[in-house]
Amino acid sequence: MKAYIHILVLFFSLSLFSQVEKIEPPFWWSGMQNTELQLMCYGKNIAQFEISISDGITVLNRKKTENPNYQFITIDTKGIAPGKVTLSFSKKGKVLFSKPYVFKKRRENSSLRKGFDASDAMYLIMPDRFANGNSDNDSTKSTVEKVNRSQNGGRHGGDIQGVIDHLDYIKELGMTALWSTPLLEDNEPVYSYHTYAQSDLYKIDPRYGSNEDYKRLSAEMHKRKLKLVMDYVTNHWGSKHWMIQDLPTKDWIHVWGNGKKGFQRSSYRMETQFDENVSNFDAKACMNGWFDTTMPDMNQSNPLVLNYMTQNAIWWIEYADLDGLRVDTYSYNDKQAIAKWTKAIMDEYPNFNIVGEVWMHSQAQVAYWQKDSKIGAIDNFNSNLPSVMDFTLYDALTGMFYEDNATWDAGMIKAYKNFTNDFLYPNINNIMVFAGNHDTNRINEIYKGDLKKYKLAMTLIATVRGIPQFYYGDELGMMGNKDAKGDGDIRRDFPGGWEGDVKNAFEASGRTATQNAYFNFTKKLFNWRKNNTAIHVGKTMQFLPENNVYVYFRYTNLEKVMVVINNNPTMQEFDVARFSEMIQDSTSEEEILSEKRIDLTKKLKIAGKTSMIITLK
């Protein structure tokens, strides 16, 4: 009889134990700057228990929500040593069951990790379309959408192992950092390959690999002195996220009363975030509207939501040893809340870097979102965001190289005018410049496969202030038109990334002559850029374009680089005396792209639609 009772007690204890389905973060680290840790405990009717923690650790706050399946406790981790502690679940003063919780030892100098900066060139990939290194995980039992490479919008099977397999290619190209679009689980039934509708923020999508695979990617990159940047999504989660399926609180997401399960699409009018004359209706329509039907808009003004997201980002930085974050749709968030999120991360890692997607078409409006912006200060706002993306330069790039004949506002004057507004940015060297990404038509599609235009654009991107970001496949002349064929067309598979591909463009022998022409130019340009301090941290002096020829200099006290971009289709000849304040005593110097010496005592000749990069002593 006693044995029977013992079995019943054991069975009862185990059933109680199983009530704790998740504790997040799943583990933490000792010695963090912020010693307050919010633990989310989830399980059937978990709110009925009182939760305590061993070793005299103070519980600062307990929060039970209207959903009894959640309980949030905040503990003080100051002085906690690496090792296990015990979470005890009690009822009426009696401990019914316990769960271990682990604090790990941090990497040495983890808090002082250095993020990406202007000495880097960042390679952007969509992992599903880059390379398939492990075909066994193309489809999994736990995820709904299966591999279908024949569909532009389907999953194609690229994964983390495929990225690891080709890190040497990325390094050979001259890139020093990798930004992968999100790798966390996205369990939407269709169109899940882009992974921006995430269903579990602590889990790598199994079709890409495992959490351990992601950590291994980071380690392999660091062996090659490459930096890993995670694409982080704060504005929205996926409709299949397990917490969306069982909301902790009614206001965990923004719910609209239109009878469509809370959905109302965002107006996408980000100007409402700083418009002094904005109506409350319009401000809410942008900030609280859903990005899409499968992407519920998160309510970061709820402290539980904000703490959950903050700790999750820090958890990934520590766990995977990250070198930076790129934040999706940054300017759609509750701006006060996202500023707190950003500050919390930068307080923990003061030398880290975070770049936010602020897709706007005015320098003043983009600059508003950079840390310590004088424009933001007008309404007492500071985003704390170190870096923003230069979408206005991208706008200029898509048109100016088609404008052969310069006019008052056409041709290279567009580049010049873009840089005249640099004074608006508080940290001009920490903005990201690019000629395309996973949301834009391919730059080579825009240029209709014109290699000369590509070279002009890349010369500009590689030599102006800021951090160049490069989109995978552009170095092969890859095309893609989302307006005509959908997003899948600008996210084509990298040739050679799949077993059985006819051509392998990861190898010179597998590339066509045209692809090698694109690749070799890109390789030469960005490998040269790696070691030029004037390009990384130098100041800029630009001269008004004449005859569609644009000349500017990047310089420090020790180095100078002269860049000449001839956007005119015909050869141009001009007197360099106009640039004497920068050229000074230089006479004969090396031109990087042609590897020829340039006589700066004579008139300078430059062929149509070509560029020069001249290093000055």
Nearest to 439 by CA among 482, 495, 386, 378: 482
203 CA to centre of own chain: 18
Band of pLDDT at residue 33, cut at 50, 70 and 90: very high
State the pLDDT confidence band at 16, using cuts at 50, 70 and 90: low
Q: Does residue 539 share a domain with residue 502?
A: no
Tokens encoding 124 = 């952007």
Predicted confidence (pLDDT) at residue 3 exceeds the cutoff of 70: no
- Among the listed residues 297, 328, 474, 489, the single catalytic one is 328
| pLDDT of 346 | 98
- Going by their DSSP bridges, the two strands 549-555 and 354-356 should be labelled as unpaired
**What is the DSSP code string of 550-564?**
EEEEEE-SS-EEEEE
Q: Which of 388, 335, 330, 336 is nearest to 364 (CA)?
A: 388
Q: What is the average per-residue pLDDT within 292-296?
A: 93
Percent over 70 (pLDDT), the chain:
96
Q: Are residues 423 and 452 in the same domain?
A: no
Q: Residues 86, 163: one domain?
A: no
Sequence-distant (6+) residues with CB within 8 A of 110 are: 29, 318, 349
Catalytic residue among 185, 231, 357, 475: 357
Let me know if residue 585 belongs to a domain: yes
> What does the buried/exposed string (b/e) look like for 248-264 if buried means 16 or more CB atoms within 10 Å of the residue's CB?
bbeebbbbbeeeeebbb
5 pLDDT exceeds 70? no
Position 339 in a domain: no
Q: Please indicate, yes or no, if residue 113 is contained in any of the structural domains.
A: no
Sign, CA torsion 123/125/130/131: positive
Q: Report the CATH number that the domain containing residue 93 is assigned in CATH.
A: 2.60.40.10
**Assigned token pair, 265:** 């699409």
Domain range enclosing 147: 118-233+435-531
Give 553-617 as a DSSP string: EEE-SS-EEEEEEE-SSS-EEE-GGGGHHHHTT--EEEETTTTEEEETTS-EEE-TTEEEEEEE-
Residue 286 CA to residue 272 CA, distance in Å, equals 7
The answer to whether position 111 is within a domain reads: no
Q: If we measure between CA atoms, which residue out of 359, 469, 363 comes closest to residue 420?
A: 363
Task: Say whether both 206 and 303 belong to one domain.
Answer: no
Establish whether 136 is a catalytic residue. Answer: no
Check if the beta carbon of residue 612 is closer than 8 Å to that of residue 462.
no
pLDDT of 166-205, one tens digit each? 999 999 999 999 999 999 999 999 999 999 999 999 999 9
Q: Which of 308, 323, 338 is the last residue of a domain?
A: 323
Tell me the per-residue pLDDT of 341-363, one tens digit each, with 9 for 90 and over. Answer: 999 999 999 999 999 999 999 99
206 and 146, same structural domain?
Answer: yes
Please tell me whether residues 14 and 81 are part of one structural domain. Answer: yes
406, 467: one domain: no
550 exposure class (CB count in 10 Å sphere: 0-12, 13-18, 19+): buried
CB 412 within 8 A of CB 400: yes
Q: Which residues contact 570 (CB under 8 A, 6 or more apart)?
A: 608
| Residue at 347 is within a domain | no
Confidence band (pLDDT; 50, 70, 90) for 12?
Answer: very low
pLDDT tens across 252-291, in order? 999 987 655 678 899 999 999 999 999 999 988 899 999 9
Among 531, 551, 582, the domain-final residue is: 531
Q: Over pLDDT 90: what percentage of the chain?
A: 93
Q: Angle, to 10 degrees, between the axis of helix 451-463 and the axis of helix 391-400?
A: 150
Does pLDDT of 614 surpass 70? yes
* Local confidence band at 498 (pLDDT 50, 70, 90 cut-offs): very high
In a domain, 352, yes or no: no
Q: What are phi and psi for residue 470, nearest 5 degrees?
A: -120, 135
DSSP 295: B
Same-domain status, 399 and 465: no
| 251 classed as catalytic | no
Q: Which of 531, 546, 576 is the endpoint of a domain? A: 531
Amino acid symbol at 140:
T
- Is there a domain that residue 178 lies in? yes
131 and 224 part of one domain: yes
Number of compact structural domains in the chain:
5
Backbone angles phi, psi at 565, to 5 degrees: -120, 115
Q: What average pLDDT does the segment 301-322 reach?
A: 98
CA dist list (Å): 115 to 112, 347, 386, 470: 9, 13, 11, 18
Of 392, 346, 332, the residue nearest 366 (C-alpha): 392
**Is residue 298 one of the residues assigned to a domain?**
yes
Burial 77-113 (b: 16+ CB within 10 A, else e): beebeeeebebebeeeeeebbbeebebeeeeeebbeb
DSSP-derived 3-state class of residue 215: helix
Q: With a cut of 80, say whether residue 598 has pLDDT above it.
A: yes
Question: Per-residue confidence at 586, pLDDT binned at 50, 70, 90?
Answer: confident
Identify the pLDDT of residue 8: 42
Is the domain of 191 the same as that of 143?
yes
Same domain, 100 and 198: no
Instruction: State residue 472 phi and psi, 5-degree precision.
Output: -50, 140
| Residue 132, domain CATH | 3.20.20.80
> CATH no. for residue 549?
2.60.40.1180
* Sheet bearing 50-53, strands edge to edge: 28-29, 94-104, 83-91, 50-53
Together in a domain, 195 and 245: no
